Amino acid sequence: MSSAQVATLAASLRHIVAGPSDTVSMKDLLLQRRLVAEMIEATQGNVTLQQALDGAALTAARGCLAPMAKVLELDRSDNRLVIRSEYGLAFGTLGQTAGKAEPGNPPGEALRNVAPVVDPDVRQRPADSLPQILRENGVVTSVNLPLVNHNGAYGVLEVDFREPTGIGAFHLSFLASVAGTLADSIEKIRVREALASERDAKALLMREQQHRIRNNFQSIIAMTQRNMLTASDDDRESFRAIERRIFAMASLYDHLLGLSEQAECTDLGRYLSAMAASFDDLYDLRANGISLKIELEFGIVVDLDTCTTVGTIVNELVANSVEHAFAGAKGQIAVSLSRSAGEGCAVCVMDDGPGMAAPAVKENTGLRTVRQMLTRIGGRLDLETGPGKGMRWSMIFGDSTERHAAPSTDSR
């Protein structure tokens, strides 16, 4: 039981006393038990507060064979009792006041005394203390039970009759069960809403931070490009390497935005696909007569360190092909990802340039850095080339990843 349910049940049950001659019909008992069970079942899951209130008002009325029932909420700002749910009242009564939580008003007394109040005939009360809603609906007998939670009173569950009606321990115990179940639902819904509100606030803050981080990435790239304009040829290459590394990190960051905050792994194929979509803008491929083909297997899930390393290396190898493979001629660069039988995963970057004899290949600082990075994730870099055969760089790294059953590929 929740604290609200315990408090609400305790507030009512300790005041209910059965007489030695009290008897009940088995039919009525089974009806009330069935109604409470149905109410409990209906409150499971993500029900709204209004659904919970409406279910309680209907259950209370049906279990007591009463023509009217309502749930009142205490407005702490002015001590008013406001109708939040009703059964059997005229249309438009929701939101109306049912008096104040003060002596003379039956539901007000239930709240003040934290105990059930059964008034056999409210007509005997002073007219100025009786809520207008009771007079308008011809209420004679009124039964009120407090709804209590850990923050104090929520309000009142009220059942009304238009004829003098005897209310004993049998009906009061049933209404206590309804009130306790409703108090439990109210507490759970409020906790859920508070958590949702906190989550939404965090999500808003996260989006603002993400926007700033994106801007910072763009500013760093722009700053690097400006410095490249005045740098020497040797320094310009260093700036390009820095720019490519920033681009790879920014691409990974953008990709991770769609994942859970707790994500420790990601689909490598989908990340490389998203990154490759930006290659044309970054390297101006079309203007240089270079086409890009990608063939990426989805469902290869790797940790974020591996993803960052592979993305950075793919970026470096594509840049290497753009700058050195074609010498101003048209050509094609291809990027592929697949599982390599017995060896883990294979990422290949190929171009159809003229190629060269393998001994003539000289690795620059960027390619030496690539090999060092691969070593950290237990991988290696292989090269296949020859005169007229282009260049084919293959990254092979261990498959210590989760494998999701998603054999689809992205091929452009």
Q: Are 110 and 176 in contact (CB under 8 A)?
A: no
Cα atoms found within 13 Å of the Cα of residue 165, Cβ hemisphere only: 19
- Set out the domains of the chain in order of their start, with CATH numbers: 3-194 (3.30.450.40), 264-411 (3.30.565.10)
The percent of the chain in helix, strand and coil, each rounded to the nearest 5, is: 50, 25, 30
How many whole angstroms separate alpha carbon 278 and alpha carbon 81? 61
Cα atoms found within 13 Å of the Cα of residue 170, Cβ hemisphere only: 20
Beta-carbon count within 10 A of 140 CB: 17
Q: Are 147 and 157 in contact (CB under 8 A)?
A: yes
Predicted local confidence at residue 220, as pLDDT: 75
Q: What are phi and psi for residue 406, nearest 5 degrees?
A: -145, 80
Q: What is the pLDDT along the chain (412 residues), one digit of tens a residue?
A: 667 777 777 778 788 888 888 888 899 999 999 999 999 999 888 899 999 999 999 999 999 999 999 999 999 899 999 999 999 998 889 999 999 999 899 999 999 989 999 999 999 998 888 889 999 999 999 999 999 876 778 999 999 999 999 999 999 999 999 999 999 999 888 888 888 888 888 777 766 766 676 677 677 777 777 777 777 777 776 777 677 667 766 766 666 665 555 467 888 999 899 888 888 877 888 888 999 999 999 999 988 888 888 988 898 889 888 888 898 899 999 999 998 777 789 999 999 998 876 555 566 666 777 788 888 888 999 989 888 889 999 999 975 444 443 444 554 4
How many whole angstroms separate alpha carbon 304 and alpha carbon 268? 9
| 398 Cβ neighbours under 8 A, 6+ residues apart | 343, 344, 345, 377, 378, 379
Beta-carbon count within 10 A of 378 CB: 12
- At 272, list the tokens: 């490389």
Predicted local confidence at residue 228, as pLDDT: 75
How many whole angstroms separate alpha carbon 194 and alpha carbon 45? 16
How many whole angstroms separate alpha carbon 386 and alpha carbon 160? 94
- Rg of the Cα trace of the chain? 36
How many whole angstroms separate alpha carbon 156 and alpha carbon 161? 16
**pTM as predicted:** 0.56
How many whole angstroms separate alpha carbon 127 and alpha carbon 133? 12
